[in-house]
Chains A and B, each alone.
Chain A
Amino acid sequence: MITTKIEDRFKTEEYFINMGPQHPATHGVLRLILTIDGEIIKNVEPDLGYIHRSIEKMCERDSYQQIVHLTDRMDYLSAHINNEAVCLVVENALELEVPERVKVIRTILAELTRISSHALWWGVMGMDVGALTTFMYAFRDRELINDIFEETCGARLTMNYNIPGGLMFDIHPNFVKRVKDFIAEFKTKLPEYDTLLTNNVIFQKRTKGVGFLSREDAISFGTSGPVARGSGYSCDVRKHHPYSAYTKMDFKEVLRTAGDTLARYEVRIQEMWESVAMIESLIDNIPEGDYKVATKAVIKLPKGEFYQKVETARGELGVFVISKGDKSPYRLKFRSPGFSNLSALNKMIVGGKIGDLVAVSSTLDLVVPDIDR
């Protein structure tokens, strides 16, 4: 009879394995150094900097109008919202009141950006856990949003539609109709997401109870966005520190308390529904008026420190400007949501399997240029 356990008779050893930098599941050049024992993960250490461009240093040289252009190279899937963050910090510092029309248009486009980003995330999430079809479905829907963007400002991804003081140009005459058409179309497509992936038994088993993050840890690690809201931490910047048209709008903050991969997944799916509702409430009520207020050709911020946070598709993006009254900031810091969310990855996955790591890092919705900056 065998009295000793297998573990005692066969010695196992920890070893290191590289995941990335060129790995399809890391969505960019992110290298994870895994310490594993068999298939159990003991430690995950990200190795960053493969596409670091030091945007913060470049900002110390550039004018504020130029800085806007750099921001959509960070989290390129939330380009419009990143642009808005810099514009808002400049407008607040100058005490510039932008017209209501600008606020509403910015918010509609921000919510379209969020839908587009979440749709892409959903497609990639499905692909990461082995369901390739979702990728095609997501790109089909996302394409319609990109077409609207293209007609509005000429760019499909890195938009640069916001400028300090308003918008680059007025919206296209077709804009309202196209957005309405898209919303009508998307409302019939979104239930497909649930039938295709959410209710799939294999998917449920791969995500339920995997990658748990408690509410306390979510706050301590500084996570934000759907990652934190999946752990029941109410952190929506649009709710707690409203800006643009969110100040007057009524919407629900999506919260789940389970804290696992499925909870984070559900938050994003539900947020797409919320974004649809927000756009519907705004699209018929775009006020008339100017699309920008004139600013000086050379913008100089007053001396002081300014902080602005916005809710991108990934969470809380903070822009911290220290100005000495020049045309460029003395120091500019981007507090990017992906960076803090990534720091919680080790906590979520230790003790799990390698296969789980792919599912968990996928619900973090990492965009590597946002982490590296």
Chain B
Amino acid sequence: MSNQEIQENLTELNLGIVFSEEPAQYLTLTVPKENLHFLMSKLKLVRELSFDYLFCLTGVDWGLELGVVYHLESTTHRHNLVVKVMTSDRENPVFDSVQDIWQTANFHEMEVFDFFGIKFNNHPNLKRLFLPKDWTGYPLRKDYDDPINMIIK
């Protein structure tokens, strides 16, 4: 499916999706966090879309917002899509987990939790993956301060 067709197909769902206007490598959209899980299961299950390969899951701190970027590919149609979700709640950021849709998300979401403190609903085993259990703070956030290792805001 071409990017144009994917865009039309997804607009019909009425999920409040906003497509990025800036020229980019992949078709990029932002979805409200309430509709994230519904959109993701559609992307995987609708046969014309069948985005079955989640090849990258990135936590990002945009300054005011925290969010996650999902890079998707379909192994049958070989088309790509980038899904972004963000929240301005920096104290308690929560998204729905997609590990029931793509099993690879299990580890990746743990990594995002470890470094950004973003929690994922319905994740079976959300814990710090790399850092010790008693670590305070989330190092990949932009407001993380660690003067000993010369990491200053």
- Where the two chains meet, the residues of A that have a C-beta atom closer than 8 Å to any C-beta of B are 48-49, 52, 54, 56-57, 217, 219-222, 224, 233-235, 240, 304-307, 309, 316, 318, 320, 322, 331, 333, 335, 339-340, 342-344, 347, 372
Provide the bound-state CA to CA distance between A217 and B151, in Å.
40
* Chain B residues with CB under 8 A of A316: 55
Docked complex Cα distance between A305 and B69 (Å): 11
Tell me the B residues contacting A by CB distance below 8 Å.
22-26, 28, 52-56, 58, 60-61, 69, 71, 75, 78, 82, 102-104, 106-108, 111, 115, 129-132, 139-140, 151
State which of A306, A335, A339 has its C-beta within 8 Å of the C-beta of B25.
Answer: A306
The CA-CA distance from A347 to B103 in the complex, in Å, is: 10
Contact in complex: B71, A57 (CB < 8 Å) = no
Residues A222 and B55 in contact, CB atoms below 8 Å apart: yes
**Set of chain B residues within 8 Å of A344, measured between Cβ atoms:** 103
B52 nearest in chain A by CB position: A219
Which B residues lie within 8 Å of A233 (CB)? 75
20 more contacts with CB within 8 A, not counting A222-B54, A340-B107, are A48-B129, A49-B130, A49-B132, A56-B115, A57-B139, A57-B140, A217-B103, A219-B53, A220-B103, A222-B102, A222-B104, A305-B28, A307-B56, A316-B55, A320-B56, A322-B60, A331-B58, A331-B60, A333-B56, A343-B103
Question: What is the minimal beta-carbon distance from A32 to any residue of chain B, in angstroms?
Answer: 14
Do the beta carbons of A320 and B106 come within 8 Å of each other?
no
Q: Judging by beta carbons under 8 Å apart, are B102 and A220 in contact?
A: yes
Complex CA–CA separation, A372 to B115 (angstroms): 13
Q: Assuming A57-B140, A240-B78, A339-B107, is B26 touching A52 (CB within 8 A)?
A: no
**A54 x B104 contact (CB < 8 A):** no
16 A–B contacts, CB within 8 A, in A order: A48-B129, A49-B130, A54-B140, A222-B54, A222-B102, A222-B104, A235-B75, A304-B22, A305-B25, A305-B28, A307-B56, A316-B55, A331-B61, A335-B56, A335-B71, A343-B106
Please give me the residue from chain A that is nearest to B107 by CB atom: A343
**A220 to B98 CA separation, bound complex (whole angstroms):** 11
> Which residues of the other chain, B, contact A304 by a CB distance below 8 angstroms?
22-24
Chain B residues within an 8 Å CB radius of A219: 52-53, 75
Q: Decide if B56 touches A49 in the complex (CB within 8 Å).
A: no
**Cβ-defined partner of A220 (8 Å) among B23, B28, B52:** B52
7 tightest A-B contacts by CB? A222-B104, A49-B130, A333-B58, A335-B56, A343-B107, A52-B130, A220-B103
Inter-chain CA distance A54–B52, complex, in Å, is: 29
Query: Chain A nearest CB: distance from B66 CB in Å?
Result: 12
Tell me the complex Cα distance, A220–B104, Å: 6
CA distance A372 to B111 in the complex (A): 10
| A304 to B24 CA separation, bound complex (whole angstroms) | 7
A52 adjacent to B131 (CB under 8 Å): yes
A221 to B78, CA, bound (A): 18
B151 partner residues in chain A, CB cutoff 8 A: 57
* Residue in chain A with minimal CB distance to B84: A305
Nearest B residue to A52 by beta-carbon distance? B130
Report the minimum CB–CB distance from B71 to chain A (whole Å).
7
The distance in angstroms between the C-alpha atoms of A318 and B23, with both chains bound, is: 20
State whether B55 touches A49 (Cβ < 8 A): no
Closest Cβ–Cβ distance, residue B150 to chain A (whole Å): 9
CA gap between A224 and B73 in the complex, in Å: 13
Chain A: minimal CB distance from B17 (Å) = 18
B106 pairs with A222, CB closer than 8 A: no
In the complex the two chains form, is A305's CB within 8 Å of B104's CB?
A: no
Write out the residue numbers on chain B whose beta carbons fall within 8 Å of the beta carbon of A306.
25
A49 to B134 CA separation, bound complex (whole angstroms): 14
Measured between C-beta atoms, what is the minimum distance from A240 to chain B in Å? Answer: 7
**B130-A318 in contact (CB<8A):** no
Q: Which residues of A contact B139 (CB under 8 A)?
A: 54, 57
Please measure, in the bound complex, the distance between the C-alpha atom of A318 and the C-alpha atom of B151, giving whole angstroms: 26
CA distance A129 to B23 in the complex (A): 51
In the complex, what residues of B have CB within 8 A of residue A221's CB? Answer: 103-104
- Give CA–CA (A336, B140) in the complex, Å: 17
Contacts of B22 in A (CB 8 A): 304
Closest B residue, CB atoms, query A61 = B151
B86: min CB distance to chain A, Å:
13
Tell me whether A307 and B25 are in contact in the complex, defined as CB-CB below 8 angstroms, given that A331-B58, A335-B55 are known contacts.
yes
CB distance from B104 to the nearest CB of A (A): 3
Complex Cα–Cα for A220 and B61 (A): 27
Would you give the shortest CB distance from A263 to chain B, in whole angstroms?
18
**Cα distance A339–B78 in the bound complex, in angstroms:** 23
Q: How far is the CA of A25 from the CA of B117 in the complex (A)?
A: 33
| A233 to B111 alpha-carbon distance, docked (Å) | 26
